[in-house]
Structure 1
Amino acid sequence: MLRKLLAISFSTLLLYACKNAPSSHQHHHTTTTKDAINEDQPYKAAMQFVGKYTKAIQLKDSTSPAVLTITPAWQGRIISSAVEVNGDNFGWLNYDLIAGQKSVSQVNLRGGEDRIDIAPDSFYFAPHDTIDATHWHTPPSFDTEPFQVTYQGRGVVTVEKDMHLLHHNGQTFDINVQRKLTLIARKDIPNYLDQDVPRAIKAVAHESENVFVNTGRIKWDGTTGQPAIRVTGMFPAGEQVWLLVPFNEEKMPTSQLDQYMKEVDYDVRSNTILVRLKGANPIAVGIPQAFGKNYIGVYDAESQQLTIVQFTLSRSKQFFKNNRWPMQSLSDGFAATVYYAGEKNDTAINSGYYYSIASYSPLSKVNTGGRLLHYHRTFHLVGTDKQLSGITKKLFGVTVQEIKQSN
């Protein structure tokens, strides 16, 4: 049955979508600069483009042709990956922003499959500033400043950065941010997904281990402020893309979904919410800890690709940031969010539109010397409908054909 799903006013995400947009509408595939390329370029060409503007570290799998690229100067993010070097480029890239080499005042939305930043939004406003779009700014440490490589080995890179961040309440937070970025071996993917992944399915997967260490003199709590880790992946959108959100019916019976959710068309099959990511306008979906699971899926019928994002999700009740201004109670926040930019959003002339998936650590009390830890994994599986249906049926309770019949 077609129902309506929650459309959340994600202030931060909407700003990400708008602040880098060109002033006039142009077709996605128009090339306007010598170096600019469009979103249809394969991984190899896209990474050659990235390499013109920043140092790029490529990791290769020893058990398959899978590859990924990390950009330390761009906050140590996994900028993209592919099942093989000449294969499709899985990370969405803002080609025009990258080629322009000029910083944007509020946020530099370069794209990438796995980047870290901080929540809640109280870290994006100077002390006592008005909470509105005009005064919102991404902390430079998470936007324009480089991370340092501390280790590079076979299939793994670690980066870190010491930060001094100012909270809206005037409190300074001293944080050592650490990231361990790993290319998951093809042979190990079945262990993470807890099911067989036939060799006929081409695959690439990666993990980020993200740590905030409290290096300051104050305890992080409800009085001083409580940072959370946010990890976001951005991916190219398409004409036939479906979001798959499994949920726990014991915590949120299907009969009650309509009371909680509204405004975005959705379908429910086998305790999975299906949303067609299409149309001109943005779509925003939030997944509460209470009834969500620790993974989300996206199926792209055109490229026969299934993307699965896993993340740390505690089953004990914890507090998560919400996405509303002014700042409100954080207990009703989300463990993960999904944002579809919409076809009207020419965030970059040559980059096409995109969707993003973000996961969050809970807001926790952390003593001096203590730390927050959050894992975020991304799996890309490419295969026929029959091959991928074995995966979707077990994880989401639906076959690929059933996904295509939704919405």
Structure 2
Amino acid sequence: MTNKQVVGLGLAGAASLMLAGCTCVSGGFSDDVAFMKEHTPIILLKDGDAAVAVAPDYQGRVMTSTFDRKAGPSFGWINRPVIEKGLLSDEEKKGKLEEHIYVFGGEERFWLGPEGGQFALYFKPGDKFEFSDWRTPAVIDTEPFEVVSTSKDRAVFRRDCELTNFSGTVFKMGIERTVRLLDEAATAETIGIDLPEGIRMVAFETDNRLTNTGEKPWVPETGLPSIWMLGMLNPAPKTTIVIPFKAGPEAELGPKVNDAYFGKVPPEYLKVEEDILFFKGDGTRRGKIGIGPKRTKGVAGSYDADSQVLTVVTYNMQDAPYGYVNSMWEHQKEPYSGDVINSYNDGSPEPGAAPLGPFYEIETSSPAAALKPGETMKHVQRTMHFQGSEADLDGIALKVFGVDLETIKSKF
């Protein structure tokens, strides 16, 4: 793999370049929570049977969720070996993946962009854009967020930090993150349709805020950060990722999809139509895709036909006068031409090697944050899982994605 092919690797891609194999066993929700509580504090948000598990020491990360906390499935991918091993000393980390990142897993985590390029936050000034120099900033990798408050349905976190990008620009940041369990009324309002009585569901919202706490404005010429949300979900043989987008000419809206992150995705894993795409989320072949800001409709999701679980992810669409950060691992001609929605399907990084998870990801990003001192940017993401009969789920799929379940199932 050349540097030019290493485009916005993120946790999944960069880690899989180094990881030879991983045995990551996930049980149901109650089993996952019991395991995690043995190794790290967990805040459990609850509403009836629905629950969301949040880890303060992992930056207020949503580790997993379920619609039945006693006997239901666990939607977030949990990397048990890394959690069990815990943090290593500097000497222990040498030559290991933990020198670069701790792959704890989790259904939704707070990250910052850009990853690569002249304004990268994952490379120090003078580094080469190579994996050996790539480091996830500790504030979004190993350092805890402060717990401000908790209640039955929400947890509030904060963190102040200082980061220096590849060009030497220093950012003094204030981070605030609120995780809130959503009830049925809030969920129905989000998707624009009343939920059938037979549906079981869990939904949560994260309100993520980035504040310029320094004395200088953040300007495009020296680099702009962004809020980057990544969700690692358990794959299944019949999971299909669905992303609707705006139809129209490429000259006006840009390409329908960027599928060149790890080499072009073959047609047996990606189907692109006039205003919607279908991407396999089975965890058997590594690939990543992206949707640009002129194409996005602010929604992505997936359907697991075996478990009859429909997943929907939305975010707050907002003006982006400075574009979206570009995470390509090279000096960039267009540092603010990045994608706003991404999806990743895990798989073997090379012949004979085991996948990192496996898992699949759905990601969203905020615009580039050109903030004056004291100004704040907010990025809100909602993740919703619905389980029920296909007759009950069909109306949700039609409303949110514009296609029915039979169409989704027929693509692969």
**Against the structure 1 CA distance between its residues 245 and 252, is the aligned structure 2 distance closer, same or farther, given a 3 Å change threshold?**
farther
- What is the Cα-based RMSD across aligned positions, in Å? 2.5
Q: Classify the secondary structure of the residue corresponding to 2:103.
A: coil
- Please report how far the alpha carbon of residue 372 of structure 1 lies from its aligned counterpart in structure 2 after TM superposition: 1.4
* Structure 1 position 387, deviation (Å): 1.3
Task: Classify 1:316/1:126 alpha carbon distance in 2 versus 1 (closer, same or farther; 3 Å).
Answer: closer
Structure 1: distance between partners of 2:393 and 2:59: 33
Letter paired with 2:73: D
Aligned equivalents of 2:83, 2:366: Cα separation in 1? 29
Tell me which residue corresponds to 1:306: 310
Cα gap change, 1:58 to 1:222, in 2 (>3 Å) = same
Output one character per residue of 1:7-29: Cα deviation in whole Å (capped at 9) or x when no partner: 984333454442673x3x57x5x
1:207 offset after TM fit, Å?
A: 0.6
Q: Does 1:382 align with 2:375?
A: no
* Counterpart position of 2:57: 73
Alpha-carbon distance, 1:297 to partner: 1.1
Give the structure 2 partner of residue 400 of structure 1. 405
Matching residue within 240, 243, 246 for 1:242? 240
Q: Contact conserved, 1:307 with 1:378, CA < 8 A, in 2?
A: yes
Higher RCO, 1 vs 2 (CA within 8 Å, ≥6 residues apart)? 1
Change (3 A) 1:310 1:106: same
SS of residue matched to 1:48 = helix
Give the equivalent residue in structure 2 for 1:42: 28
| SS of the residue 2:295 aligns to | coil
Offset at 1:251?
Answer: 6.0
Give the secondary-structure state (helix, strand or coil) at the position aligned to 1:388. helix
CA distance in 2, matches of 1:360, 1:238: 25
CA distance in 2, matches of 1:317, 1:372: 13
Higher mean Cα deviation, 322-331 or 85-94?
322-331
Q: Which residue of 2 aligns with 1:88?
A: 73
Q: Which amino acid in structure 1 is aligned with residue 293 of structure 2?
A: Q
Paired amino acid for 2:75? F
Distance in 1 (CA, whole Å) between partners of 2:80 and 2:171 is 33
C-alpha distance in 2 between matches for 1:140 and 1:398: 42
AA at the equivalent of 2:29: Y
Indicate conservation of the 8 Å contact 1:269/1:398, yes or no.
no
Counterpart in the other structure of 1:55: 41
Contact 1:270 1:396 in 2 (8 A): no
8 A contact 2:224–2:325 mirrored in 1: no
SS of corresponding position for 2:221: coil
Alpha-carbon contact 1:173-1:216 (below 8 Å) kept: yes
Deviation, 1:272, is 1.6
Shift of 1:257: 5.8
TM-score norm. by structure 2 comes to 0.87
- CA, structure 1 residues 304+16, in 2 after alignment: closer, same or farther (shift >3 Å)? farther
What's the counterpart of residue 105 of structure 1? 99
Q: Distance in 2 between matches of 1:52 and 1:288?
A: 41
The one-letter code sitting in structure 1 at the alignment partner of 2:285 is N
For residues 219-251 of structure 1, the C-alpha deviation after alignment (integer angstroms, 9 at most, x for no partner) is: 101133211000111001111111101011146
| Aligned amino acid, residue 227 of structure 1 | P
Q: How far apart are 1:342 and its partner, in Å? A: 1.5
Query: What TM-score do you get using the length of structure 1 for normalisation?
Result: 0.88
Q: 1:214 aligns with which of 212, 215, 218?
A: 212
2:301 corresponds in structure 1 to 297
Q: Secondary structure at the match of 1:123?
A: coil
Partner of residue 129 from structure 2, selected from 131, 135, 145: 131
The alpha carbon displacement at 1:194 in A equals 0.8
Give the SS at the match of 1:146. Answer: coil
Shift of 1:68: 0.7
How many Å apart are 1:291 and its aligned residue? 0.8
Q: Tell me the distance in 1 between the aligned counterparts of 2:72 and 2:329.
A: 41
CA distance in 1, matches of 2:338, 2:72: 37
- Partners of 2:402 and 2:41 in 1: CA distance: 42
The answer to whether the Cα contact below 8 Å between 1:205 and 1:377 also exists between their aligned partners in 2 is yes
- The answer for unaligned runs of 5 or more in structure 2 is 89-97
Count of residue pairs the alignment pairs up: 384
> Is 1:286–1:337's contact at 8 Å kept on the other side of the alignment?
yes
Q: C-alpha separation between the residues in 1 aligned to 2:13 and 2:283? A: 19
Shift of 1:51: 0.3
Amino acid at match of 2:318: S
2:187 matches 1:189: yes
Q: Confirm or deny: 8 A CA contact 1:8 1:285 kept in the other structure.
A: no
Cα distance in 1 for partners of 2:403, 2:123 equals 43
- Asked if 1 retains the 8 angstrom alpha-carbon contact of 2:254 and 2:294, the reply is no
C-alpha distance in structure 1 between counterparts of 2:385 and 2:113, whole Å: 27
| 8 Å contact kept, 2:171–2:214 | yes
State the percentage of identical aligned residues: 27
